[in-house]
Amino acid sequence: MGATHVNVNQESKGRNKLFLVGGVLFTFLLAAVGFAASLIPGLTYVGQMGCAIIIAIVYRQIFGYPEILRAGVTFSSKKLLRLAIILYGLRLNIGIVLSDGLGLLLKDAIIIFVAIVAMVWLAKVIKADANISLLLGVGTGVCGAAAIAAVAPIVNADDDDTAIGVGIIALMGTVFSIIYTIVRPILPFAAEDYGIWSGMSLHELAHVALAAAPAGQDALAMALLAKLGRVFLLVPLCFILIYFMKRKRTGQESEGKTIVAFPYFLLGFIAMSLFGSFVLGDIIPVTEQTLEGVYTFTTWLLTAAMVGLGLSVSLKEVKNKAMKPLIAMTIVSVVVSVVAVVLV
């Protein structure tokens, strides 16, 4: 009997591992479909992550949630997401930000403040979902999907809210980056100023690159520097949100006991930023191709995580939650663009 019980347990563990691996592979499969879709003319602007999360949401509505693969899908949306954010830190060269972008940091901080405060206030006015609106405010102010993913556990946002936020960010960021390229020739901006404007106001790193590249390499360099300043401010913003969440819960709970999960992956983000800024290239030689390979791997991890989040979205349950935050974010994105023009 004992041996039989052990065999049953081993078989059960084996199946669980199989379903875990199968679920992760399934998210990568849909991520690959999203990548292929992003190569289609017109969808190129939406990007790999945006296409993938849309495909995942559509899959869920047609075929339902893949329950048998839940462990693997959850692993992608939780664990792989955190790993991707940690590796994302390599994109942030702290040395460049501190040496060349100190003046931009203050302007970036103003943009983040305006985006979050305006989004939260407008959400209250039009009675939009508070959690989604806060996530969108952070995503608009900082760095899109990565910022939303980093902040979501701090504000206790569920997977539905996180996925909706990421989807809206992908959509609106694409629309605004296209608008930027259209209006660029008629703007009274020098190329570098246009780059700074793009870097301060657009949502994702990819959106910034898309909008700034047509203005030339100098504009693109300034755009990425301005954007990196916003990424740099993600960490202090997270600690500020932790502080406010603890205060909020203290006020709500009579005993004053607060439990705010500390996002330890942010320490990994900081460590990778420091490693990439002061070790790679200076102490440990690394080729540009190697770094690009790491960036590509990070993008795939983040895309698989977005698929996991997208699979959790039931449009029947959330369709009423998304419309008002979308309206609010559209207005706030315009406000951010105008404020960025003034700051430039």
Name the one residue in this structure whose structure tokens are 């990070």.
Answer: 298
Return the DSSP state at 188: -
pTM score, whole prediction: 0.79
The residues spanned by each domain of the chain are 78-343
Return the DSSP state at 282: T
Q: What is the pLDDT of residues 171-186, one digit of tens each?
A: 888 789 888 988 888 8
pLDDT at res. 317: 63
> Is 88:33 a contact under the CB 8 Å cutoff?
no
End-to-end CA distance of the chain: 76
Q: Helix, strand or coil for residue 280?
A: strand
Rounded average pLDDT per 10-residue block, the chain, 344 residues: 56 76 94 92 78 88 90 89 86 80 89 96 93 94 88 87 86 85 87 92 84 84 88 90 80 51 77 88 84 90 87 73 90 95 91
- Packing angle between helix 234-252 and helix 217-232, nearest 10 degrees? 30
pLDDT at res. 264: 78
> Is 41:86 a contact under the CB 8 Å cutoff?
no
pLDDT at res. 267: 84
Find residue 284's DSSP bridge partners.
280
pLDDT at res. 261: 59
Cα distance between residue 199 and residue 232, in whole Å: 13
pLDDT at res. 144: 85
| Neighbouring residues of 298: CB distance < 8 A, sequence distance ≥ 6 | 84, 87, 88, 90, 91
Cα distance between residue 241 and residue 237, in whole Å: 6
Q: What is the pLDDT of residues 5-41, one digit of tens each?
A: 555 566 666 677 888 999 999 999 999 999 999 899 8
| Neighbouring residues of 79: CB distance < 8 A, sequence distance ≥ 6 | none
| Neighbouring residues of 279: CB distance < 8 A, sequence distance ≥ 6 | none
Cα distance between residue 146 and residue 234, in whole Å: 10
